Amino acid sequence: MSTTEQADSGAGLDAQRAAIEAHAARAGLSIDGWHVDAGVSGSVAPADRPALAEALVALGAARSGVLLVAKSDRIARRTLDLLGLCALAERQGWSIVAVDGTVDQTTAHGRFMTTVMAGAAELERDLIRARTRDALAAKRAAGVRLGRPVTLPAEVRARVASERVGGATLQAIADGLNADQIHTARGGARWYASTVASVLKSLDHDAVTREAR
C-alpha cells in the first residue's frame, strides 16, 4: 500500500486496507503481513520504495503467496515497472492481485488483461501530462507566474540535487534529511521519498523556466 497527500490523515491507507481485507475474506486468503510505504507515491520506482522491497523479498523467499494491493497504481505507474514485477512474480512462483480488478496474475485471462489495462492507464496518464504541459506553456507565454514560491532554503535544495546526482535513492536522501532534523518546505518534521521527488521536480521546473527565457 502507498499514499501521498493522505499520509498524514491516514484516510487513504484505511480505505486501501479495508478493500484488501474485504477481498482477502472473499477469496479465502489470510493476510500474513502489511507493507506500507506511507507518503510515497505510486509513481516512485519500486526500487526506491522500502516497504514494497521488503514485501518482494518475503514473497521471493517463500516462493509462493499473493501480493494484494488496492489498485495497480499503488505499486507501479509505469507499464514497464508493473510488467517487470509481474515477470518477477511468475519466475518466483507468487502472484500479484489488485483488488480493483486491474491486475490478476492467477489466471491466463487475468495476465492478458493486466498487460492491456496497464498500457491503457499509462496512455491516459501520458495524455493528461501532455495536455497539462501544453496548458502550462500557454500560461508561461502569457506571462503568468506558475507554482508556489520557493520556501526551501537554497542549500537544502542544492543538497538534494547533489545527492541525487551522486546516485542516492529518494528514500536515502529523505533519511539523511530526517537524521539532520531538517524541516520540509512546509515546515514538516518528516521527509519521505515523495517529498524529495517534489523538490527535484521543482528544480527541474526552474531549469526549464530559465532555458525558456
Which helix (H) or strand (E) segment is 98 a member of? strand 95-98
* CB within 8 Å of 14: residues ≥ 6 apart: none
What's the mean pLDDT in 102-106? 83
In a domain, 85, yes or no: yes
Domain shared by 78 and 20, yes or no: yes
The pLDDT of residue 211 is 45
Convert the pLDDT of each residue in 163-212 to its tens digit: 888 888 999 999 999 999 998 888 888 999 988 988 888 877 665 555 44
Structurally, the chain folds into a number of domains equal to: 2
3-state secondary structure of 25: helix
Cβ contacts of 160 within 8 Å, gap of 6 or more: 173, 177, 196, 199, 200, 203
Top-confidence residue, 117 or 147? 117
> Given the DSSP bridges, would you call strands 66-69 and 95-98 parallel, antiparallel or unpaired?
parallel
In whole angstroms, what is the distance from residue 160 CA to residue 168 CA?
Answer: 9
Whether residue 115 is found in the same domain as residue 159: no
pLDDT of residue 5: 40
Same domain, 107 and 165: no
This prediction has a pTM of: 0.54
Q: Which CATH number belongs to the domain containing residue 37 in this structure? A: 3.40.50.1390
**Would you state the pLDDT for residue 75?**
83
Residue 133: what pLDDT? 81
Do 112 and 178 fall into the same domain?
A: no
Cell readout for 141 is: 507565454
Residue with cell 475474506: 25
Digit-coded pLDDT (tens) for 50-62: 889 899 999 999 9
Q: Kindly tell me if the per-residue pLDDT of 10 is higher than 50.
A: no
Residues spanned by the domain of 21: 11-119
Residue 17 domain flag? yes
Q: Are residues 112 and 176 in the same domain?
A: no
Per-residue pLDDT, 150: 53
Rounded mean pLDDT of 146-167?
80
Residue 142 inside a domain? The answer is no
Domain membership of residue 166 (yes or no) is yes
> Is residue 126 situated within a structural domain?
no
User: Does residue 2 sit in helix, strand or coil?
Assistant: strand
User: Of the ranges 11-20, 64-73, 141-150, 184-193, which one carries the lowest mean pLDDT score?
Assistant: 141-150
Same domain, 180 and 83: no
In DSSP terms, 68 is beta-bridged to: 97
Run of H or E residues at 68? strand 66-69
CA-CA distance, 99 to 203, in Å (whole number)? 36
Q: Could you tell me the sign of the dihedral formed by the alpha carbons of 105, 110, 112, 118, in that order? A: negative
Does 20 fall in a domain? yes
Q: At what angle do helices 154-165 and 193-212 cross, to 10 degrees?
A: 100
